[in-house]
Amino acid sequence: MGSLWLDTAPRTERAQLAGDLQVDVAVLGGGVAGMTVALLLKRDGARVAVVEAAHVGGGVTGCTTAKVSALQATIYSTIRKRNGEQAAAAYGEASLAGVERLAALAAEQAIECGLERRAAYTYAAEDSERSAVEREAQAAAGAGLAVELVDAPDLPYAVHGAVRLGDQVQIHPVRYVQGLAAAVDGGGSQVFERTRALAVDEGSPCRVRTAHGDVRADHVVIATHYPFLDRGLYFARLKPQRSYCIAARLASGRPPRGMSISAGSPTRSVRSHGEFLIVGGEGHSTGSGKADRERFARLEAFARRHWDVEAITHRWSAQDPSPYDHLPVIGPYRPGSSRLWVTAGFMKWGFASATFAAMILADRIAGRDNPWAGVFGPTRLSLRSAHELAALGAKYAIDLVGDRIRPPRAPRAGAVPPGEARVVPDGLGKKGVYRDENGSLHAVSLRCTHMGCLVRFNAAERSWDCPCHGSRFAVDGSVLEGPAVQPLERREP
Ligand SMILES: Cc1cc2nc3c(=O)[nH]c(=O)nc-3n(C[C@H](O)[C@H](O)[C@H](O)COP(=O)(O)OP(=O)(O)OC[C@H]3O[C@@H](n4cnc5c(N)ncnc54)[C@H](O)[C@@H]3O)c2cc1C
Ligand code: FES
């Protein structure tokens, strides 16, 4: 079974866009980023249209662990090293504000999302990680967080010290964003579902093109998780990382109250939701060929080793992009844009950061100053992280051509076993062939419709994933996740 969150919230069925529409702001994407900015803009008096390709909360927001915390593994030591103390302090102040704004929005809108105050911990699983925890405590304190070093979080296994931040929040993420969507609807604003934005013309007004009509708007916010416009600015800077989660019901004992994450590798992220224990980890780059069911098995073994697990009830995985310099990208979409905006790059901590991103964008669109805006501007260039930018560019070049010279992995479609996929010859080229459990074959072009990299099979999710910018496609070629907006070409099996 998939995500605990999508399984325990009814899917919303909102109207598809039907014809052209004119509003003040169009927000593309109905995850936590899009829905929060939409609501803040509506509160500023704007008429807002949210254009969501599938369903509100059905993207990464529905496949997360949903800890809303300003303490985020070892982010402050990383930001301090890459971007300096001022940037770490801005991230800390903004993240604390993001946590509190999310809690305030949930309270003001009376959203029943199981919001609970909890302590957050980053712990040393091994003695060798103790120094990382101490460094994080120092960096987080320097960034303004009221952290303390403690011997152990409330975990049933030995750890080698932890940094603790009290009074953070955990929620049911889908119920939270559905509550935001309900608050956006009405008074001239509307959330549309099953409406994919295909292109945006920046102008006065801007025009969002979809298959069901155009939305004209003074401002457009791209909150599609991975920005889907423009070849260059974002695609060279954001690296999607996949991670895996399981939920378990315990036969005896209770899941921990705190929200914990290990400082080192392998990552183990733990929280509770009611009686459920949730464990996350096993991350890797999207499309790296490392996606397999073993990752769930390792999380399951970890849970069974430390808790009295009665049943694993849910398994899910998702991805989030990490910017090359470890700061989210929030602000004008392109240099000089004053009507087109972006919010992305949350590094698996989007509940606090998408919320402060919404605060920044709402201020910018309303013409108000925002003290954090400069730090997160998308066109910044971090010299200290320039080597990471170069490495991402090189990785793209390798992924673009790399698989083209590898031999096919099955001689013909007939040799593909049920439930598996192979790359097979297709004239002078290659195609991807998947055989479903009923024996039917599904064949697609391996060329990603975004910028032409070759997709790879994800055996854990049964999808074709692109290593370049993280687009994902179902076995029939349809788009599961952008930045691609067009399906893979179908081929004869
Ligand atoms: C395994 C995992 C665990 C995580 N755990 C945590 C955690 O504990 N705490 C935390 O703070 N963060 C966590 N995160 C990160 C957090 O979940 C994300 O940062 C956040 O949900 C991203 O929200 P979003 O709105 O940007 O993206 P999404 O929720 O993906 O929303 C984007 C929406 O845009 C839509 N869309 C895409 N393209 C188009 C288009 N062309 N037109 C219209 N709509 C489009 C999609 O359908 C989608 O609904 C985790 C991430 C992962 C992968
Ligand atoms: S080439 Fe960009 S996601 Fe595939």
Q: What is the pLDDT of residues 151-176, one digit of tens each?
A: 988 899 999 999 999 999 999 999 99
Smallest CA-to-CA distance from 27 within 45, 8, 46 is with 46
Residue 107 binned pLDDT confidence (cut-offs 50, 70, 90): very high
Ligand 1: which of 72, 224, 239, 272 to mutate, judged by most atoms within 8 Å of the beta carbon? 224
The residue whose CA has the least distance to atom 1 of ligand 2 is 451
Cα–Cα distance measured from residue 441 to residue 419, given in angstroms and rounded to the nearest whole number: 10
400 pLDDT more than 70? no
The more confidently predicted of residues 61 and 423 is: 61
- How much of the chain is helix, strand and coil, in % rounded to 5? 30, 30, 40
Phi, psi dihedral angles at 371 (to 5 degrees): -65, -20
* Chain-centroid distance, C-alpha 309: 28
Separation of CA 301 and ligand 2 centre (Å): 34
222 alpha carbon – ligand 2 mean position (Å): 17
Looking at residue 395, its pLDDT comes to 65
Please give the average per-residue pLDDT across 368-389, as a whole number. 82
Distance between CA 105 and CA 77 in Å, rounded?
30
Q: What percent of the chain has pLDDT over 90?
A: 78
Atom number, ligand 1, closest to the C-alpha of residue 33: 25
CB of 450 within 6 A of ligand 2: the answer is yes
Q: DSSP label at 404?
A: G
Structural domain 4-63+174-235+326-383, CATH architecture: 3-Layer(bba) Sandwich (3.50)
- Which ligand is the nearest neighbour of the Cα of 454? 2
Contact 385, 326 (CB under 8 A): yes
Structure confidence at residue 405 (pLDDT): 47
Say if ligand 1 is within 6 A of residue 316 CB. Answer: no
Q: Cβ distance 328 to 346 under 8 Å?
A: yes
- Contact at 8 Å (CB) between 326 and 388? no
Architecture of the domain made up of 406-491 = 3-layer Sandwich (2.102)
Domain boundaries, the chain: 4-63+174-235+326-383, 406-491
Distance of CA 339 to the CA centre of its chain: 24
63, amino acid identity: C
Residue nearest (by alpha carbon) to ligand 1 atom 52: 64
Instruction: Give the pLDDT score at 383.
Output: 63
Mean pLDDT taken over the chain: 92
Of the residues 11, 14, 65, which should be mutated to test ligand 1's pocket, given the most ligand atoms within 8 Å of the CB? Answer: 65
DSSP single-letter state for residue 454: B
- Any atom of ligand 1 within 6 Å of the Cβ of 225: yes
What's the pLDDT band for 228 if we cut at 50, 70, 90? confident
Contact 114, 171 (CB under 8 A): yes
Same fold, 4-63+174-235+326-383 and 406-491: no
- Put simply, whether the predicted model's pTM sits higher than 0.85 gets the answer yes
Q: Which helix (H) or strand (E) holds 269?
A: strand 268-273
Instruction: Note the pLDDT tens digit of each residue in 110-128.
Output: 999 999 999 999 999 999 9
Q: Whose CA is nearest to atom 3 of ligand 2?
A: 469
For ligand 1, whether the C-beta of 245 sits within 6 Å is yes
HEC string of 159-219?
CCCEEEEEEEEECCHHHHHHHHHHHHCECCEEEECCCCEEEEECCCCEEEEECCEEEEEEE
pLDDT given for residue 386 in this prediction:
67
Higher-pLDDT residue of 389 and 208 is: 208
Q: Can you tell me the distance from the alpha carbon of 161 to that of 445, in angstroms, rounded to the nearest whole number?
A: 50
Instruction: Kindly state if the Cβ of 192 falls inside 6 Å of ligand 1.
Output: no
Atom of ligand 1 minimally distant from the CA of 482: 38
User: According to the model, what pLDDT value does residue 335 have?
Assistant: 87
| pLDDT value at 54 more than 70 | yes
Distance CA 226, CA 482 (A): 6
Ligand 2 in contact with 469 (CB < 6 A)?
yes
Q: How far is the CA of 73 from the centre of ligand 1 (A)?
A: 19
Residue 38 confidence (pLDDT): 98
Residue keyed to tokens 């040393």: 124
Q: Tell whether the model's pLDDT for residue 448 goes beyond 50.
A: yes
pLDDT band at 394 (very low <50, low <70, confident <90, very high): low
Ramachandran sector of residue 200 (left: φ over 0; alpha: ψ -120 to 50; beta: rest): beta
Ligand 2 in contact with 196 (CB < 6 A)?
Answer: no
- State residue 145's pLDDT score: 98
In this prediction, residue 336 has a pLDDT band, given cuts at 50, 70 and 90, of confident
Pocket of ligand 2 contains residue 484 by CB under 6 Å: yes
Distance 431 CA to ligand 2 centre (A): 17
Ligand 2 midpoint to CA 96 (Å):
34
What's the rounded mean pLDDT across residues 312-323?
Answer: 95
Span from the CA of 118 to the centroid of ligand 1 (angstroms): 22
CA torsion 444→391→122→360, rounded to 10°? -80
Q: Give the ligand 1 atom nearest the CA of 228.
A: 41
Q: Considering only residues 395 and 367, tell me which one the structure prediction assigns the higher pLDDT.
A: 367
- Tell me the ligand closest to 472's alpha carbon: 2
Could you give the C-alpha distances from 25 to 39, 177, 184, 185, 376, in angstroms and in order? 11, 19, 12, 14, 21
Q: What ligand 2 atom has the least distance to the C-alpha of 483? A: 3
CA of 256 to the centre of ligand 1 (A): 25
Residue 487 has pLDDT above 90, yes or no: yes
Least confident interval from 81-95, 235-249, 257-271: 235-249
